[in-house]
Amino acid sequence: MSAAASPSEHQRAHGDLHVTMKLREGRTVLDDLRQQGCLKARFPRPPGWAEVVTLNTSGGVAGGDTLRTTLRVRHGASASFAAQAAERFYRALPEDPPAHIRTSLAVEPGAAAEWLPQESILFESCALDRTLHVELAADAWFLGVESLVFGRALMGERVANCRLHDRIRIDRAGQPLLHDAIRLHGPADALARPAIAAGAGALATLVLVAPDADSRLAPLRAAWKNNDAGASAWNGMLLARVTAADGAALREAVLAALACLRGPRPLPRVWMC
């Protein structure tokens, strides 16, 4: 029997995606696209905001994978960035490094952007190091959501161990506005603690940066009155977090929140699949 492969011998997935959207004759259109490896982008043409749908053709993320996405919305443009489907983060061997995912989004003056990936589904013993870094102009508009699901409840899955370091950083006009971090390393029983997740199997973080962010707080709290959730608004930013028993319940709560924060605009169609 051959010896186990070293981390350097395991097959890895690598992807680089760069997308820039600009305003032309009153419409937001593609300005620049570069894609390499397993990361791709597609561009549906719905009425209203431009949409960019990202795809990971590797079929999921494993330890040692590296994915880098750089997005920019130029002056006066508006775009929604969504993922084709929920992303799966598979088991990593103990000697494997974590998957590294880096996403950067720049929103220029007078522009608006939405970061709307679908759920991140974590499998037993997964290893993930992920950062979302958003740079906003002083008057830019931004809405973002990140959802974590610890195993698929209908499949009877339970995540007892994982290596997770997940960060959201937002700067506005060059000044730090938010640094939010979730870190789990080893047994995931910390989620059972009342002050952390009280036994929930899924959680989501939503951030709205807008001049009217404060006015969206009361409607969001009303929409979440039956959920285990909290939300606050200050300094032109609304920050909210909700926990749920499983991914299906979490999606229901996130959809209710997005309806409050986005208004009547329909979600990207990939969210309805």
pLDDT per residue, tens digit, the chain (273 aa), is 444 555 556 778 999 999 999 999 999 999 999 999 999 999 998 888 999 999 999 989 999 999 999 999 999 999 999 999 999 999 988 888 999 999 999 999 999 999 999 999 999 989 999 999 999 999 999 999 999 998 776 666 777 788 999 999 999 999 999 999 999 887 666 676 776 666 678 999 999 999 999 999 999 999 999 999 999 999 999 999 999 999 999 999 999 999 999 988 999 999 987
Residues paired with 81 in a beta bridge: 52, 115
- 3-state DSSP call for residue 131? strand
How high is the pLDDT of residue 94? 86
**Angle of CA points 119, 221, 223, to nearest 5°:** 65
91, with CB counted inside 10 A (0-12, 13-18, 19+), is: middle
Nearest residue to 159 (alpha-carbon basis) of 182, 185, 181, 180: 185
Give the model's pLDDT for residue 160: 77
pLDDT score of 68? 98
Task: Give me the pLDDT at residue 2, please.
Answer: 46
Rounded to whole angstroms, the Cα distance separating 213 from 139 reads: 13
Hey, how many other C-beta atoms are within 10 angstroms of the C-beta on 182? 16
pLDDT of residue 1: 40
Annotate 121-134 with b (16+ C-beta within 10 A) or e (fewer).
bbbebbbbbbebeb
Handedness of CA 22, 28, 33, 38 (dihedral sign): positive
pTM (two decimals)? 0.92
